[in-house]
């Protein structure tokens, strides 16, 4: 008995096998596409954390930005300066009765929307007075030695981390054995968010 005769004699069996095989293949395809769709959905709402440093002649600021495509919920923030640690960047700033333009203390549990931001510290300067220059130098020399660690989650509770050392603020200085001196460096003045982007 050849294969053709067997198929003809067992047409019902063959039909059932073909139907079952097609059903299994359809299930496999559905599972694969479901996984691909799930991966796409997760990636389409993924937050991306950026730690932004603004350093101008008339503005010093540190902000947490969400430059991703989904909301970002901060689980924890840690600021480290040598053996000092704090969840509040303001706690590591010099105690000089500085009047801050904006700041935020506890950011744990806060959610940043897409293209949103949280200001950790922000200080503007209206003039180039001696006192303001001292404050700017003090802020820069402290910030340059601070590292910020951010742990955050997306809407699916997946955890991400971002770490940045704020040594961007130290580009003004030349380090010597006896200390460090200011380098000649021109800094532009901060004008507005629409015309000048924060340096990173």
Q: What pLDDT is recorded for position 191?
A: 60
Distance CA 78, CA 149 (A): 5
Q: Please say whether the beta carbons of 166 and 62 come within 8 A.
A: yes
Asked if residue 91 lies in contact with residue 107, where contact means CB atoms within 8 angstroms, the answer is no
Are 196 and 188 in contact, with CB atoms under 8 Å apart?
yes
Please give the Cα distance from 105 to 124 (Å, whole number): 18
Question: How many other C-beta atoms lie within 10 A of the C-beta of residue 151?
Answer: 16
Q: How many CB atoms lie within 10 A of CB 155?
A: 15
Quick: pLDDT tens for 16-27. 777 778 778 778
The per-residue pLDDT for range 61-83, each reduced to its tens digit, is 999 999 999 999 999 999 999 99
Residue 160 to residue 64: CA distance in whole angstroms: 14
- Alpha carbons 21 and 19: distance in angstroms, whole number: 5
Per-block mean pLDDT, blocks of 10 residues, the chain (200 long): 64 71 78 68 80 94 96 97 95 87 94 96 85 88 96 94 94 60 54 45
Mark out the alpha helices in 45-109 (DSSP H runs): none
Q: What is the structure's pLDDT at 9? A: 63
* Residues 92/120, Cβ–Cβ less than 8 Å: no
**Residue 38 contacts by C-beta under 8 Å, 6 or more apart in sequence?**
none
Q: Is the dihedral of CA 165, 171, 175, 180 positive or negative?
A: negative
What pLDDT is recorded for position 128?
72
Q: What is the pLDDT of residue 131?
A: 80
What is the pLDDT at residue 8?
A: 61
Give the 3-state secondary structure of residue 174: strand
* Contacting residues for 105 by C-beta, under 8 A, at least 6 apart: 88, 90
Instruction: Please report the sign of the dihedral spanned by the C-alpha atoms of residue 181, residue 183, residue 189, residue 190.
Output: negative
Q: Where are the domains of the chain?
A: 3-44, 49-182
What is the pLDDT at residue 134? 87
Contact 160, 149 (CB under 8 A): no
pLDDT score recorded for residue 49: 97
Predicted pLDDT at 94? 86
């Amino acid at each position: 008995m050849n294969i053709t005769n067997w198929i003809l004699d067992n047409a019902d069996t063959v039909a059932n096998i073909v139907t079952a095989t097609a059903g299994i293949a359809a299930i496999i395809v559905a599972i694969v596409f479901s996984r691909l769709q799930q991966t796409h959905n997760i990636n389409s709402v993924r937050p991306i954390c950026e730690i932004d440093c603004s350093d101008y002649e008339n503005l010093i600021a540190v902000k947490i930005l969400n430059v991703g495509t989904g909301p970002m919920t901060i689980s924890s923030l840690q600021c480290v300066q040598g053996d000092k640690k704090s969840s509040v960047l303001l706690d590591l700033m010099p105690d000089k009765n500085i009047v801050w333009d904006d700041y935020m203390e506890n950011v744990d549990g806060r959610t940043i929307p897409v293209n949103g931001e949280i200001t950790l510290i922000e200080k503007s300067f209206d003039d180039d007075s001696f006192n303001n220059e001292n404050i700017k130098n003090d802020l820069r020399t402290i910030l340059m030695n601070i590292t910020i660690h951010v742990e955050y989650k997306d809407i699916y509770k997946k955890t991400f981390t971002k770490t940045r050392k704020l040594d961007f603020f130290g580009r003004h200085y030349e380090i010597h054995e006896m200390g460090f001196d200011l380098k000649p460096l021109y800094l532009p003045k901060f004008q507005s968010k629409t015309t000048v982007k924060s340096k990173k």
